[in-house]
Amino acid sequence: MSRQSTVGSRQGRTPGPVVRRARAEDGQRIVDLDRELARFEKLQPPDNTEAARLLSWIFESKKLEAFVAELDGAVEGIALFYEGLGTFRAKPFLYLEDLVVSEAARSRGVGEALMAALAREALTRGALRIEWAVLDWNARAMSFYDRLGARRPHEWIKHALEGEELERVASRGGS
């Protein structure tokens, strides 16, 4: 994506974030920001093997896509996403797996610039929507998404199988 998003570029003001597709040389910064998010979410950050797999998904297999946002030439935010399929409408949607803005760059337009780039990408692909999940205690993120006009579809409740439960279900009868 060659589009750039700039905010506050009037003379005398610091230029805003520039959003672009991630490049391989952004890999370490993507990992650093992903680890920052894990710590914020009170999760174990990815180890080196997991980090290498993440970067492989972005830059080799293309299972995951990434936008980065730069401020003053430094990557200060990332949006990691992938395309899903809406079967009833037979159209894609984008799932935002992670939106991360460095602590130092918060409230400087980085998150909004990344979401705007993701919205443009969704429209370019003819996507139905962008979906994501927010931890129920992350009031700042919920407020940010509310300001963007995102809705919270209360009729849908997220479920997950992992660990022992996943293994138990997989071991049940059938083919």
Annotated catalytic sites, by residue?
145
The strands making up 65-71's β-sheet, listed across from edge to edge, are 18-21, 65-71, 74-86, 91-101, 130-131
Q: Is the dihedral angle over the CA atoms 45, 51, 53, 56 positive or is it negative?
A: positive
CA angle 60, 76, 80 (to 5 degrees): 35
Burial 145-156 (b: 16+ CB within 10 A, else e): beeeebeeeeee
Residue 25 tokens, joined: 């040389």
Using alpha carbons, list the distances in angstroms from residue 89 to 81, 85, 118, 129.
20, 9, 20, 11
